[in-house]
Amino acid sequence: MVQLTVRHEAWPVRGKFTISRGSRTQADVVVAELSDGTHVGRGECLPYPRYGESVEGVIAEIEALGGPLAEGLDRRGLQSRLPAGAARNAVDLAFWDLECKRAGKRHWDLAGLPQPGPVTTAFTLSIDTPEEMGRKAAANAERPILKLKLAGPDDLDRVEAVRANAPKARIVVDANEGWTAAQYSALVPDLQRLGVVMVEQPLPAGDDAALAGIERPVPVCADESCHDTATLAALKGRYDMVNIKLDKTGGLTEALRLKQAAEAEGYGIMVGCMLTTSLACAPAVVLAQGVALTDIDAPLLLAEDRDPPLKIEGSLVYPPAPALWG
């Protein structure tokens, strides 16, 4: 029998984080803990309004599991008990952490995976004026990958400013559903010229069929359009890559399945994160082994983080210490 506790935590952002849907000055996360009386497992998620989630709603979803958990609900049973999303993610990750502590093993051992090494993360520049994004690019010019949040009339100017101030960096851009197919097609020659290697979710999910009818010389990655393995079939012909995030898949259990299925279908893999602490990003390190692109820089965007945090040297993110997770 395991006992459940759940709480809301607010973590301040370093400055302000802005995408096409608005700005944030803090990360409002939900933490689930599972205790067997000896060991405690933790998992963290970020309720996302874009997916109809709220802190209160996610907490209620998790609290409703108290009875089933006391009656023996385990991680495998959880997969059908809750839909993919933030609530299931927090509990799934808490189960993984608890199982690791009980067994005295690391999460990659339980998953039957090789020991992970460090991964290189993209560093995100949120939407701002071209001048300000150029300034931020200059301050991070030595980072190997910069990810630009876009979705506005000055997007090309923003990319131009970043490229001028970070000439060596690989650049990926994320429109967060803010473009049209015509905008992608109009921008793509200049994006190629500026060395952009990927465009993330240019069109709104549910309105992205047009991607199947246009050339995509700069690969397009599904984010809001790809949640779990059930959503994979609808992406065929529209996307070249998929962005796997634990809060979308509903935990590491399903994320590992999605990664395997997407690779089998020939998609390039990106592993991303929400605006969360190191606790939520820690499981993504093992998921990010061998993928085309990793974007788990959220701890770098916060003013404060867990103790201990993920070890991050520059843009190199190391596997978590057992005291953090897994």
Percentage of residues in the chain with pLDDT exceeding 90? Answer: 95
Q: How many CA atoms lie within 13 A of 279 on its CB side?
A: 26
pTM value surpassing 0.85 = yes
Give φ, ψ of 323 to 5 degrees. -65, -20
Told to judge if 245 belongs to the known catalytic residues of this protein, a careful annotator would answer: yes
Told to judge if 248 belongs to the known catalytic residues of this protein, a careful annotator would answer: no
Whether 130 shows a pLDDT value over 80: the answer reads: yes
Give the per-residue pLDDT at 219.
96
Encoded tokens for 64: 């409703």
| Cα-based distances in Å from 135 to 70, 139, 140, 163, 314 | 53, 6, 9, 11, 18
Give mean pLDDT, residues 183-189.
94
- The residue from 136, 147, 245, 248 that is catalytic is 245
Confidence label for 286 from pLDDT (cuts 50, 70 and 90): very high
Give the per-residue pLDDT at 152.
78
What's the chain's average pLDDT? 96
| Multiple choice CATH, 3-105, 1.10.3720.10, 3.40.50.720, 3.30.390.10, 3.80.30.20 | 3.30.390.10
Give the per-residue pLDDT at 25.
82
Whether 228 shows a pLDDT value over 70: the answer reads: yes
CATH assignment, 119-317: 3.20.20.120
Nearest to 187, CA basis, from 176, 177, 173:
173
- The residue ranges of every structural domain in the chain are 3-105, 119-317
- The residue from 147, 149, 248, 259 that is catalytic is 149
Give φ, ψ of 152 to 5 degrees. -175, 170
Confidence label for 24 from pLDDT (cuts 50, 70 and 90): confident
Higher pLDDT, 153 or 250: 250
Confidence label for 21 from pLDDT (cuts 50, 70 and 90): low
Give the per-residue pLDDT at 19.
74
Q: Is the fold of 3-105 the same as that of 119-317? A: no
According to DSSP, the residues that pair with 24 across neighbouring strands are: 17
Give the per-residue pLDDT at 17.
78
